A = this chain, B = another copy of it.
Amino acid sequence: MTLQQLQYFLAAVEHGTFSGAAAALYMAQPSLSEQIRRLESELGVALFVRAGRRLVLTEAGRALRPEAERTLAAAARAAASVAEVRELTGGTATIGTFGEAPNWLIGNVVATFRRRHPGVRVRVIGLNSSEVADEVREGRIEAGLVVLPIDDAGLDVRPVMTSELLYASADEERLRAPIAVERLAEVPLILYDARWGSDDPTRRALLERAQLAGVRLEPAIEVEELGSALDLAARGLGDTVISQVTTVRRGALPSALGLVPFAEPLYETFAFISRRDAQLSPATRELVALAEQQLATLAERSGGAVSLH
Taking Cβ atoms with an 8 Å cutoff, the residues of A that contact B are 1-4, 6, 43-46, 49-52, 54, 56-60, 62-64, 67-68, 70-71, 73-75, 77-79, 81-86, 90-94, 138-140, 142, 154, 275, 277-279, 281, 283-284
Contacts and interface: CB of A to CB of B under 8 A. Distances in A.
Contact of A82 (B45, B277, B278): B45
B82 A43 contact: yes
Contact of A283 (B59, B82, B139): B59
Most buried by B among A60, A63, A91, A138: A63
Contacts of A74: 67, 70-71, 73-74
Contacts of A6: 75, 78
B45 A86 contact: yes
B4 A139 contact: no
A281 B49 contact: no
Contacts of A94: 59
B56 A81 contact: no
Nearest to A75: B71
Given A1-B3, A58-B281, A142-B59, A77 B81 contact: no
A59 B141 CA distance: 9
A58 to B, nearest CB: 6
A2 to B, nearest CB: 6
Contact of A71 (B49, B57, B78, B90): B78
22 contacts: A1-B79, A2-B2, A3-B3, A43-B79, A44-B83, A45-B82, A45-B85, A49-B277, A51-B139, A52-B154, A54-B139, A56-B139, A57-B139, A58-B278, A59-B85, A59-B91, A59-B142, A59-B281, A59-B284, A60-B86, A60-B281, A62-B91
Given A57-B139, A59-B92, A94-B59, A67 B81 contact: yes
Contacts of A1: 3, 75, 78-79
A26 to B, nearest CB: 19
Contacts of A51: 138-139, 154, 275
Contacts of A4: 2
Nearest to A142: B59
A60 B82 contact: yes
A237 to B, nearest CB: 44
Nearest to A120: B59
Given A6-B78, A71-B74, 8 more contacts: A1-B78, A43-B82, A43-B86, A45-B86, A49-B277, A64-B78, A67-B78, A71-B75
Given A3-B1, A74-B70, A139-B51, A81 B57 contact: no
Most buried by B among A64, A71, A77, A93: A71
A60 to B, nearest CB: 4
Contacts of A284: 59
